[in-house]
Amino acid sequence: MPWDDKELIEVLKNNGVVVMPTDTLYGIVGRAQNQSAVERIYKIRKRNPGKPCIILIGDINELKKFGIILTEAQKDQIRRYREPTSFIVDCTDEKFSYLHRGTKTLAFRLPTSKSLRNFLIKTGPLIAPSANIEGLLPAKTIIEARNYFGSQVDLYIDGGEIRSKASKIEKLHKDGKLSTIRE
């Protein structure tokens, strides 16, 4: 996968918006800690403004950047998963309302791919909704993504055709129990 592309890392570090392959689908990604990049992605995707996005992280300790401290029970649950799974956890800090959109929760995913995790350590956490206009099918190719977004995106990274499915989503409670949101 093309996650060691220097231009890709540079564009993201400079708060750009990129369409690239993730561990599941093509995503339209930007730095989660940059509110203007986040809002730009919502606008480009025509995403429901009340619906939070999944955040990709390179290391579990990255959650501290969002004021999230996991219990040992929660960490144990995350370690058990070998398939792409996004976990919803509580995030009550109002300074992250541009991410949690009033839900007071954030969904994050720690990819199983070591090369993608290493890339995320270099860029910092990225919001990564699927590359499509709200309500339409996720792009399987860069050509489909370009048809959706045209010149509104700073960079397109071609990872070939992607036929994976979206991640499973689990609500991760403080006691480590899970509630399945999406299979």
Q: Please answer whether residues 41 and 99 qualify as being in contact, where contact means their C-beta atoms are separated by less than 8 angstroms.
A: no
The whole model's pTM is what? 0.95
Mean pLDDT of 163-181: 93
Query: Identity (one letter) of the amino acid at 178?
Result: L
The whole-number pLDDT of residue 157 equals: 95
Model pLDDT for residues 140-156, shown as the tens digit of each residue: 999 999 999 999 999 99
* pLDDT value at residue 1: 60
CA-nearest of 79, 65, 66, 51 to 172 is: 79
> 6-182 in CATH: which number?
3.90.870.10
Contacts of 95 (CB under 8 A, 6+ apart): none
Is residue 5 pLDDT above 90, yes or no? no
Average pLDDT over residues 126-153: 97
Cα(183)–Cα(181) distance, rounded to whole angstroms?
A: 7
The pLDDT tens digits of the residues spanning 29-63 come to 999 999 999 999 999 999 999 999 999 999 999 99
Looking at the DSSP bridge assignments, the partners of residue 90 are: 105
The mean pLDDT value for 92-110 works out to: 94
Please check the confidence at residue 123 and state whether its pLDDT lies above 90: yes
- Round to whole Å and give the CA distance between 25 and 27: 6
- Output the pLDDT for position 82: 86
Angle at 133 between CA 40 and CA 135, to 5 degrees: 130
CA distance 22 to 41: 16
Q: Give dist(CA 145, CA 135) in Å, integer.
A: 14
